[in-house]
Each structure stands twice: as structure tokens, then as C-alpha cells.
Amino acid sequence: RTVYVNGEYLPEHEAKVSIFDRGFLMADGVYEVTSVLGGKLIDFEGHAKRLARSLSELDIRKPMEDAALLEIHRELVARNEIDEGMIYLQITRGAPGDRDFVFPPEETEPTVVLFTQSKPGLAESPAAKTGIKVISIPDIRWGRRDIKTVQLLYPSMGKMMAKAAGADDAWMVEQGAVTEGTSNNAYIVKGNTIITRQLSHEILHGITRAAVLRFAREAQMKVEERAFTIEEAQEADEAFITSASTFVMPVVEIDGAQVGQGRPGPVAHRLREIYIEESR
């Protein structure tokens, strides 16, 4: 695999980052995951915009223009012959020569890393046909979840807790309401209405979320952006998640309780189809 690191395209085993990198020492960095379908990037503009916002909120210098970033994405897709998969991008505050809580001097170059992940069958995912199971766990992450930082230890632990419980993923709960999934946004469906938590500092502003809500409204579905509880979700007609890596993925079980008929429902199915159709 050819990867990109700080201005160079290299075979992955030759790509190196300093041990003093703030991303490594302090999780001082941000990331984006952009999907590729049929060799085409999905929603690059949305991801670039969110990246710029994440960087600006953390006072990390934006290392290049969006056009240059797009060029690297395209180059990696071509060099690695990605048909279906993802591009991972990470930018950290860089590598000053030592460990210090104080931010390094202005002139410190941010570290920029990109690599591809080939996922043949992303669109035809078997999980989308059966649906996934989730458990609920308390949301003990920090208060700026709208910034896409690389602090992913708790979401990673959440995923492990789900696996240990025989489920696929976890929905995080704060003050009685679902915030989001470990690496996705959470939704329930009641009749013709799609309910998903409103945007705030408490959740990541999903790029897939924005697209799916737009498609839902265009398809004359109703959208309510508000918080919901696990109990409400268990009694809903359908539930699903969205993210760049899963698109629209039906949820058929929450904390052991079957949602609806325990099978993917028509709304999630339809939104998944529209999303994939529009992204090709």
C-alpha cells in the first residue's frame, strides 16, 4: 500500500512519524474518514469543511488548501486502485523536539498522514441485510465531541464491551438520552418520522447524517432533531446508524430488546438504497 506522510508518497513500511508527535503523546490531532464508492470520493467537500473546523477549534494550523488535500485523496485512490473503501486522514499539532503540555511554537509543522483501506463489498454489506445489535453504555467522553479528535480510547472500549456482550456496537447515553454510537450517529423511526439527536457539542456532526437527513426530507419523510431515550428506541418501529464507514446500517436489537420485527425495516432500507445510489 502507498501512503502519504508529510508531503511524500511512500510504501507503508517506510512511512514514519516522530516519537515526539503530539498525536502520539497527547492525542493532539484530528481526523476524517472519507468513503470511496466505485473509485469516487463521497462528500469530500463536507469532510474538508468539518476538518477545517476541527483544526480551527483546536488552533492547529491548516497545513494546505482543500484543493491540495483533494489531490492527495485522488492520488491515493488511484495508486492503491481503491474501488470500495475508505481514506483515513489525520493531522496532528506536529512534533516539537520534546514532551510539553504547552503548545509548541507557531512554526512547528503539523503532521499530515493519509492512507487507504480497501473494503470490497462495502455497499453490499451482509450486516445491512440482517441488521446489527447494540448495547447502551454511559457516555463519559469529553465535552467537545463535535471536534473530530483522535481521542478514541473510550469509543474503542465501548466497541469491546459490545463484543463481550454479544453485540456489534454501543450507543452512548448521557443524562438519560442517547448521544450517538461509538463511531456513528444514532436514529430511531416512528411511522414516517425519523428521530435523531440535534446538533450540539455533545455529538459529532456526521457528514453522512447531513446527507441522509436531506435525502429523507426529499423523500417526504418527516425529520425530528431531538434527543431520545433507550426505552423510546426499544419501542420504536426501526432504528439505524449512519457513518462514512457503514452508510445507513439498520439496528435490530438494543440492550437485548428486539426493535420492531427484529429485522431491518423499510425506512432504513430505503435510505440506505438512496444514499448508495446518490453516492455512486
Q: Which are the catalytic amino acids? A: 148
Q: Comparing C-alpha atoms, which of 190, 126, 180, 187 is closest to residue 158?
A: 180
DSSP 26-55: H--EEEEEEEEETTEESSHHHHHHHHHHHH
Task: Write the interaction track for ligand PDD spanning residues 164-183; mark x where CB under 6 A is met and - where it is not.
Answer: ----------------x--x
| Interface with ligand PDD, residue 207, by CB under 6 A | yes
Indicate the pairing of strand 132-138 with strand 169-174: parallel
Among 54, 111, 242, 279, binds ligand PDD (CB under 6 A): 242
Q: Is 176 left (phi over 0), alpha (psi -120 to 50) or beta?
A: left
Identity of the residue, 95 or 233, whose beta carbon is nearer to ligand PDD in the bound complex: 233
Min CB(180)–ligand PDD separation in Å = 5
Q: Which of residues 261-280 bind ligand PDD (CB under 6 A)?
A: none
Identity of the residue, 133 or 209, whose beta carbon is nearer to ligand PDD in the bound complex: 209
| Interface with ligand PDD, residue 116, by CB under 6 A | no
Alpha-carbon gap, residue 1 to 77, rounded angstroms: 11
Among 204, 248, 274, 276, binds ligand PDD (CB under 6 A): 204
Number of residues that bind ligand PDD (CB under 6 A): 14
| Interface with ligand PDD, residue 90, by CB under 6 A | no
Identity of the residue, 189 or 249, whose beta carbon is nearer to ligand PDD in the bound complex: 249
**Which residues does 225 contact at the CB level (< 8 Å), separation at least 6?**
195, 196, 197, 198, 199, 213
Identity of the residue, 28 or 32, whose beta carbon is nearer to ligand PDD in the bound complex: 32
How far, CA to CA in Å, does 175 sit from each of 172, 186, 227, 233, 257? 10, 16, 10, 15, 21
List residues binding ligand PDD (CB under 6 A): 33, 180, 183-185, 204, 206-209, 242-245
